[in-house]
Amino acid sequence: MPVLHVSAECAPFAKVGGLADVVGALPGALARLGVASGVVMPFYGGPHGRLAQKAGAIESVHTGVVFFEGEWFPFEVFQSDALSSDGAEVPLYLVHEPEHFGDDGVYFRASDNTWFARGEVRYLVFQLMVLDWLRSENTPLDGDGLLHLHDHHAGLIPALLHTDPANSVLADLPTVLTVHSADHHGEIPWARWNSLGLDLPNWESLDHLGVVNSLKAGVETADRVTTVSPSYAIELTESPETSHGLDYAFQLAGDRLSGIVNGVDMDVWDPATDAFLPEHFSADDLGGKTALKQAVCASLGLDASRPLLTFVGRLTPEKGAEVLAPGIAQILHQTDAAVAILGSGYPEYEGALRDLAASAPEGRLSVTLAFDEALAHRLYGAGDVFLMPSKQEPCGLGQLYAMRYGTIPVVHAVGGLRDTVTAWDGAIGTGLRFDAYSADAFAEAVGRALALDADARAALQQNGMRADHSWAASAADYVTLYRELGLSTATKGSGV
């Protein structure tokens, strides 16, 4: 197998954010292009947990043991075929070690949502186990393999490859680190790292503010570094706020750093077949979209005769929650639109939306403070305009779903939103953008969207629905990158 993806998440088995969606879709897209790929992740909850129920039949392929902080930790690697689909064979490898990953929770305990006792080193131990497995005779990688690492949870692997003598057999493996978000760095106290007893010729490559920084380590030591959009790559080099203080590390990456936008699963996100939609439609026949809007508005108590604005997302500062409620207040006052909001997050933002809903005119505002996958799909499809005022957005998927479903996105021109939404100029475009991060700029952009005539709205709908945001296009860019690292990609039919 040429490419092994190392990740903390993979949809649909363990999902907290967009990382899971990428790792769940990209390997299959690569396999369909002839690059056999697999995924390795922690086996949260072990063989009797919730993840195991989703993984189905599993087979043990390796047993090993790692030594860390004076203790031996036996582990076992299982293989599942549950990630394979549409003729793409994608083995899913699950690393079972009960001390660190015996709980069903991904980043917090499933039982009480508290921090794990060994939380600082969970993913360091995971990486040690992955490397122990890869240097065994049971390794899934062939002679020209490559490790594709995702976020800080796998960011220490390049350093471990080149500093731990036990990994000398793996030292020539090319490594690619994809930074899905720089919001989390994976910090580990030096005293805990030093228990490995490794000789670090360049300890500064791991250090940030006096601790081991797993994300920085990956950025400085991986052969190539990617982010999930070209604009986000630039922002990480220019903004200490966006990179959370690691702008200098991204700057030093130089030509090793690039951006590749995410794709969407065009089969799952298809308004012509979506099982969550009571009415279906396509770019060639939008009749079902009108019926869907009427059904959704009826269920939410909204006036379907008005333009429908929808928002689906987490209520956090990064997702624009600071400007959402005050922006919506202006929109309700200045336009005749109805608004449907779905999401949950920080209590202060939920509270502001509750207060706004309580004072809004009847039929104008619906606020659902929850995660509801079915309603999310319906709001993407029923809306006339989709709202995405993110303060930061590495790539973003909501705007891609909205365009696929014929709902015109209004986005803050930042990160992947800038790269994936082409601003309407009166002739071409897929959405509307605003530059200043403020409630006033947000509301003004929505006003521009609502002022468009029928021909402009139709053109925007068609442009968005017919655009290619599939994983095939993004996967092809990754294949090009792999080739630059010397990976042979003439592997179709080679299996794993």
310/366 Cα distance (integer angstroms): 10
Listed residue (203, 208, 199) closest to 250, CA to CA: 208
Write the class of the CATH domain 287-468. alpha beta
Q: Which two tokens stand for residue 256?
A: 């090793």
Cβ pair 289, 281 in contact under 8 A: yes
Listed residue (56, 190, 193, 71) closest to 124, CA to CA: 193
What's the confidence (pLDDT) of residue 1? 65
Q: Which two tokens stand for residue 66?
A: 């790692």
What's the confidence (pLDDT) of residue 455? 97
What's the confidence (pLDDT) of residue 494? 28
424/431 Cα distance (integer angstroms): 6
Q: Which two tokens stand for residue 202?
A: 């360049």
Q: What is the pLDDT of residues 200-212, one digit of tens each?
A: 888 999 999 999 9
How far, in Å, are 51, 80, 82, 127, 322 from residue 58 at the CA level?
Answer: 11, 5, 9, 21, 45
Amino acid, single-letter form, for residue 411: V
Where residue 486 falls (left for φ over 0; alpha for ψ -120 to 50; beta otherwise) is left
3/459 Cα distance (integer angstroms): 40
Fold adopted by 3-263+473-484: Rossmann fold (3.40.50)
110/441 Cα distance (integer angstroms): 40
Tens digit of each residue's pLDDT, the chain (496 residues): 699 999 999 999 999 888 999 999 999 999 999 999 999 999 999 999 999 999 999 999 999 999 999 999 999 999 999 999 877 899 999 999 999 999 999 999 998 889 998 899 999 999 999 999 999 999 999 777 999 999 999 999 999 999 999 999 999 999 999 999 999 999 999 999 999 999 988 899 999 999 999 999 999 999 999 999 999 999 999 999 999 999 999 999 999 999 999 999 888 899 999 999 999 999 999 999 999 999 999 999 999 999 999 999 999 999 999 999 999 999 999 999 999 999 999 999 999 999 999 999 999 999 999 989 999 999 999 999 999 999 999 999 999 999 999 999 999 999 999 999 999 999 899 999 999 999 999 999 999 999 999 999 999 999 999 999 999 999 999 999 999 998 865 443 322 2
23/11 Cα distance (integer angstroms): 7
350/262 Cα distance (integer angstroms): 29
Cβ pair 311, 390 in contact under 8 A: no
Delimit the domains of the chain by residue range: 3-263+473-484, 287-468
Q: Do domains 3-263+473-484 and 287-468 have the same CATH topology?
A: yes
Listed residue (323, 377, 368) closest to 344, CA to CA: 368
DSSP code per residue over 66-123: EEETTEEEEEEEEEE-TT-BTTB---EEEEE-HHHH-SS-SSB-TTT-PBPTTGGGHH
Q: Tokens 């990456």 correspond to what residue?
A: 253
Residue 237: which residues within 8 A CB-CB, separation 6 or more?
Answer: 243, 247, 250, 251, 253, 257
What's the confidence (pLDDT) of residue 496? 26
Cβ pair 380, 290 in contact under 8 A: no
pTM score over 0.85: yes
**End-to-end CA, the chain:** 4
Phi, then psi, of 8 in degrees rounded to 5:
-85, -20
Residues 92, 96, 100, 105, Cα dihedral to 10°: 50
Cβ pair 18, 395 in contact under 8 A: yes
The distance of Cα 239 from the centroid of its chain, to the nearest Å, equals 21
What's the confidence (pLDDT) of residue 489? 54
Where residue 495 falls (left for φ over 0; alpha for ψ -120 to 50; beta otherwise) is left
Residue 65: which residues within 8 A CB-CB, separation 6 or more?
Answer: 72, 73, 74, 75, 132
Beta strands in 7-57 (DSSP E): 37-42
Burial of residue 155, with CB atoms counted within 10 A of its CB: 0-12 exposed, 13-18 middle, 19 or more buried? buried
Residue 202: which residues within 8 A CB-CB, separation 6 or more?
Answer: none
Q: What is the pLDDT of residues 314-330, one digit of tens each?
A: 999 999 999 999 999 99
